[in-house]
Amino acid sequence: MTSAKGYAAQNPTTNLAPWNFERREVGPLDVQFDIQYCGVCHSDLHQIRDEWFPGIFPMVPGHEIVGKVVKVGDKVKKFKPGDLAAVGCLVDSCRTCDNCKVGLEQYCLNGGVGTYNAKGKDGVPTYGGYSNTIVVHEDFVLTISPKLSLPAVAPLLCAGITTYSPLRHWKVGKGHKLGVLGLGGLGHMAVKFGVAFGAEVTVLSTSPSKEHDAKKLGAHKFVVTTDKQQAKNVKGYFDFILDTVSAPHDFRFYLSLLKTNGTHIMVGIPPEPNQVPAFSIIGGRKSLAGSSIGGLPETQEMLDYCAEHNIVSDIELIDIKDITKAYERMVKGDVRYRFVIDMATL
Amino acid sequence: MTSAKGYAAQNPTTNLAPWNFERREVGPLDVQFDIQYCGVCHSDLHQIRDEWFPGIFPMVPGHEIVGKVVKVGDKVKKFKPGDLAAVGCLVDSCRTCDNCKVGLEQYCLNGGVGTYNAKGKDGVPTYGGYSNTIVVHEDFVLTISPKLSLPAVAPLLCAGITTYSPLRHWKVGKGHKLGVLGLGGLGHMAVKFGVAFGAEVTVLSTSPSKEHDAKKLGAHKFVVTTDKQQAKNVKGYFDFILDTVSAPHDFRFYLSLLKTNGTHIMVGIPPEPNQVPAFSIIGGRKSLAGSSIGGLPETQEMLDYCAEHNIVSDIELIDIKDITKAYERMVKGDVRYRFVIDMATL
């Protein structure tokens, strides 16, 4: 076994605190890398607080992981010690179902294995990236370009792919009007990708204070949704809305901003069921759709695209000892736009 | 003006009863036809009871109308006295918006004019097909083939086009597994069209007694959704579900029956907002979509398709004096599968 240390929640009601644990030995197809940076995702907090489903404790969160390879199994072909490497939300999947076979591991019909708060095929709980080292099958390890700022790459592994994937799937680009709902970790990546793909991007936000940033990120327009006149101006305006909000919100209103045949794509996960009036989708042949992260081939494609187009996340680098404070600020939306833990502080 | 007689609701709480009223004079582009048959749609009842929005009373319902032309304006080109003619849910629209210009009058951005419970551009209320005669602009009058049984054509004007249009829009056909939710007026037409378009059609119903009929209508499979084992067998099974149910139902369950990338299309209108858990669409990149009737060109295409493929509705012909009894049976689902009023009984 390989000794590891990290920050864990011992149960849903305590704060994260230092914890020592073990990773598996590096198998013939495994890659071990030392974690240099790990992004802080809102879902980390949802899961350590048991807000989605009963979690596996102790829990070491973190699924936006980048670092440097230190050891590889003797059958590993993609990596050698010293290479940069990354892991996102998945560390395994069944690899045999119809979805895995076409690179849609995120929709594995037998249940993919999450990077943390899951059990591997060996029955052992998985532990995430708030830690110093990780061992993962090479098929689930991604390559990253040294051209990009390494800490700013970390959030691409979840916030990046979660917004890149639906924009690609629905072929959002030139000629489309895209609304990005919520300007947080996911939203700011959605703006960058939407602009890069050629869409006209409007940020929809309840915080007028975010207009300056939205424009700086490349957004063409900014709409304060609580301003009646501004809201009226974008009725029936959008081909797509990418919805990154994970708090309850008014679907009747947002669906009214779509054109005929428009699609509202959810990537945030509000805790309660969405209230969707039938008239809101039937009148205008609209769709409410959802999308979850991305598969391995598409995540690699996204990372390569980012390297080519010089796209990274806007981050605030933190000391792991400040993680609880960071969570408090994240809940208030007080982060522009992603906290990333400098693992040298562990 | 033209004298007309029909059955009207004087207010939302009384039964339909005979009522005399006036239609406009036949203008240069108008067609007047004597109504021979009119289908009975569940939305007739919703509207005379004011269940959707405040209605215009007295209200003469009915938007599945077929008959014989008796008079045409001097600029009318499509019709001459003696021709068969039909009118569906719309008698006018703005004709200038982006949707009207491409034949999507059902999504007219300025609000189409309903066949009843609406006001025409002249400000006069529209009155529907539970009456002896109607005057409509020729652009909103459809041609029908004498090859088909006339009373059985009437329901095509709403139940037919409402199911035909989404199946065409989403290109449902060979290689697809289609679930039809609810086997009523709309559902039985969805089965006929789904089969005609080459899909594998499964009827999803809570009534085991409908299996025989479902198979007779051409359905390949029948699933009693309240039977746990049968439900389990179709988890993740369908490419599309066409949902004709207008009572509240469990979207978490029905969305779980879709494949990855599957689409649940609503054409029924439950009175309360649908409860849609985010996980139900995000896990599997699913869509909840809606569709409303069809535009004029597509409605004509559907009628022509039906003539070519010998498709009509399964109906029970009634005397207009029995309309209240028919409504009671319709609410209980006791009609196989559409009541049609024989207007000779008026």
Res. A333: pLDDT tops 90: no
Q: Note whether A107 contacts B285, CB cutoff 8 Å.
A: yes
Q: Which of A311, A39, A259, A14 is nearest to A151 (CA)?
A: A39
Read off the pLDDT of each residue in A326-340 and give the average, rounded to a whole number.
94
Measured between beta carbons, the chain B residues lying within 8 angstroms of A109 are 236, 260
Chain A to chain B Cβ contacts (< 8 Å): 114
Q: Do B279 and A269 touch (CB under 8 A)?
A: yes
Q: Do A290 and B267 touch (CB under 8 A)?
A: no
Mean pLDDT, residues A78-99 taken together: 97
Mean pLDDT estimate for chain A:
96
Q: How confident is the model at residue A51 (pLDDT cuts 50, 70, 90)?
A: confident
Domain of residue A78, CATH code:
3.90.180.10
Lowest mean pLDDT of A20-24, A198-202, B245-249, B309-313, name the range.
B245-249
- Please say if the pLDDT value at position A188 is more than 90: yes
Answer whether residue A169 shows pLDDT above 90.
Answer: yes
| pLDDT score recorded for residue A324 | 97
- pLDDT above 90 for A113: yes
State pLDDT tens for residues B109-138.
998 999 999 999 999 999 999 999 999 999
Based on the domain organization, do B32 and B119 belong to the same domain? yes
**DSSP states along B125-141:** BP--SSBSEEEEEGGG-
B58: cis peptide before it, omega within 30°? yes
Examine the domain organization and report whether B90 and B204 are in the same domain. no
For residue A214, what pLDDT is reported? 97
Q: Do B89 and B235 share a structural domain?
A: no
User: How many angstroms away from the CA of A149 is the closest CA of chain B?
Assistant: 31
Q: What residue has token string 């890659």?
A: A31
Nearest residue in chain A measured CA to CA from B248 = A278
Q: Which of A99, A273, A282 sits opposite B266 (nearest CB)?
A: A282
Looking at the fold, whether B35 and B147 belong to one and the same domain comes out as: yes
The encoded tokens of residue B293 equal: 């009737």
Strands B84-87 and B65-72: antiparallel
Same domain, A10 and A153: yes
A114 to chain B, closest Cα gap in Å: 14
Chain B residue with CA closest to A260: the answer is: B107
The pLDDT of residue B86 is 98
Question: What does the pLDDT average to over B140-160?
Answer: 97
Which of A260, A261, A263, A298 is the best residue to mutate to test the B interface, defined by the most B CB atoms within 10 Å of its own CB?
A260
For residue B10, tell me if it sits in a domain.
Answer: yes
Do B141 and B71 share a domain, yes or no?
Answer: yes
**At B1, is the pLDDT very low, low, confident or very high (cuts 50, 70, 90)?**
confident
Question: A264: nearest CA in chain B?
Answer: B287
Please list every residue in chain B whose beta carbon sits closer than 8 Å to the beta carbon of residue A279: 269
- Cα A242 to Cα A290: distance, rounded to the nearest angstrom: 9
| pLDDT tops 90 at residue A263 | yes
Q: How many domains does chain A have?
A: 2
A300, part of any domain: no
Numbered residues of chain B with Cβ closer than 8 Å to any chain A Cβ:
98-99, 104, 107, 109, 166, 169, 236, 251-252, 260, 263, 266-270, 273-292
Kindly determine whether residue B285 and residue A286, on different chains, have CB atoms separated by under 8 Å.
no
B270, B279, B283 member nearest A278 (Cβ)? B270
- Chain B interface test: which of A282, A291, A293 (most B C-beta within 10 Å): A282
Pairwise CA distance, residues A9 & A13, whole Å: 8
pLDDT at A52: 82
d(CA A24, CA A36): 19
Q: What is the pLDDT of residue B7?
A: 98
Nearest residue on chain B to A246, alpha-carbon basis: B278
Q: Is B289 helix (H, G, I), strand (E, B) or coil?
A: strand
Cβ–Cβ of A287/B292 closer than 8 Å? no
With respect to residue A253, please indicate whether it lies within any of the assigned structural domains. Answer: yes
**Of all helices (H) and strands (E), which one includes residue B56?**
none
| B-chain residues near A284 (CB < 8 A) | 107, 290, 292
**Is B283 in contact with A169 (Cβ distance < 8 A)?**
no
What is the pLDDT, as a whole number, of residue A344? 98
Q: How confident is the model at residue A270 (pLDDT cuts 50, 70, 90)?
A: confident
- Helix B296-309 with B159-169: angle, nearest 10 deg: 100
| Nearest chain A alpha carbon to B249 | A278
Q: Let me know whether A138 and A193 are in one domain.
A: no
A210-250, pLDDT tens digit by residue?
A: 999 999 999 999 999 999 999 999 999 999 999 999 888 99
**Within this chain, do residues A109 and A207 fall inside the same structural domain, yes or no?**
no
* B198 assigned to some structural domain: yes
B14 and B129 co-located in one domain: yes
Domain that holds residue A123: 2-158+313-345
Percent of chain B with pLDDT over 70: 100
Tell me the pLDDT band of B30, cut-offs 50, 70 and 90: very high
- Chain B CA closest to residue A99: B260
Give one word for B22, left, alpha or beta, with left for phi > 0 and alpha for psi -120 to 50. Answer: beta
The pLDDT tens digits of the residues spanning B31-55 come to: 999 999 999 999 999 999 998 889 9
- Could you give the strand order of the β-sheet that contains B221-224, starting from the edge strand earlier in sequence? A221-224, A200-205, A177-181, A238-243, A258-266, A287-290, B287-290, B258-266, B238-243, B177-181, B200-205, B221-224
The DSSP element (H or E) to which A279 belongs, if any, is: helix A278-282
CATH code, domain with A189: 3.40.50.720
pTM over 0.90, yes/no: yes
Cross-chain residue pair A288–B292, CB shorter than 8 Å: no
Q: Which of B252, B284, B285 sits opposite A169 (nearest CB)?
A: B285
Of A98, A284, A291, the CB nearest to B107: A284
User: Looking at chain A, which residue has its C-alpha nearest residue B262?
Assistant: A289
pLDDT at residue B53 in the model: 86
In a domain, A135, yes or no: yes
pLDDT 10s digits, A54-77: 999 999 999 999 999 999 999 999
Confidence of residue B93 (pLDDT cuts 50, 70, 90): very high
Q: Does A266 share its domain with A246?
A: yes
**pLDDT, position A53:** 86
Whether pLDDT at B91 is above 90: yes
- Residue among A89, A99, A107, A257 with most chain B CBs within 10 A, to mutate: A107
Q: What is the mean pLDDT of residues A167-194?
A: 97
Residue B275's pLDDT band, with cuts at 50, 70 and 90, is: very high
Q: For A122-168, what is each residue's pLDDT tens digit?
A: 999 999 999 999 999 999 999 999 999 999 999 999 999 999 999 99
In degrees and rounded to multiples of 5, residue A202 shows phi and psi of -120, 125
pLDDT of B279 above 90: yes
pLDDT interval class at A299 (50, 70, 90) = very high
Report CB contact under 8 Å: B274, A277.
yes
Report CB contact under 8 Å: A279, B269: yes
Q: What percentage of chain B carries pLDDT values higher than 90?
A: 95
Average pLDDT of every residue of chain B: 96
Strand partners, A200: A177
Considering the domain architecture, whether residues A135 and A10 belong to the same structural domain is answered as yes
DSSP letter string over A47-104? HHTTSSS---SSB-----EEEEEEEE-TT--S--TT-EEEE-SEEE--S-SHHHHTT-
* Chain B residue with the nearest C-alpha to that of A108: B284
Chain A residues with beta carbon closer than 8 angstroms to that of B283: 107, 290, 292
Report the pLDDT averaged over residues B228-257: 96
Average pLDDT on A321-341 reads 95
Looking at CA atoms only, how far is residue B345 from chain A in angstroms?
A: 35
For residues A19 and A135, membership in a common domain is answered with yes
ipTM for this model = 0.95
Classify residue A298: in a domain, yes or no. no
C-beta atoms of A270 and B286 within 8 A = no
Measured between CA atoms, how close is B295 to chain A, in angstroms? 12
DSSP H helices, B242-344, are 251-256, 278-282, 296-309, 323-331
Instruction: Say yes or no for a CB contact (<8 Å) between B282 and A291.
Output: yes
B306 within a domain of the structure (yes/no): no
**What does the pLDDT look like over A15-34, one tens digit per residue?**
999 999 999 999 999 999 99
Q: Name, in order, each residue with C-beta under 8 angstroms of A184's C-beta and a sequence gap of 6 or more.
A: A42, A244, A333, A335, A337
Burial of B68 (0-12, 13-18, 19+ CB in 10 A): middle
How large is the average pLDDT for residues B270-284? 93
Question: Looking at CA atoms only, how far is residue A319 from chain B in angstroms?
Answer: 33
DSSP states of B62-93: ---EEEEEEEE-TT--S--TT-EEEE-SEEE-
Share of chain A above pLDDT 90, in %: 95
Mutate one of B250, B260, B298 to test the A interface: name it (highest A CB count within 10 A).
Answer: B260
Under the banding of pLDDT at 50, 70 and 90, the label for residue B247 is confident
Contact yes or no for B259/B239 (Cβ under 8 A): yes
**Is B133 domain-assigned?**
yes
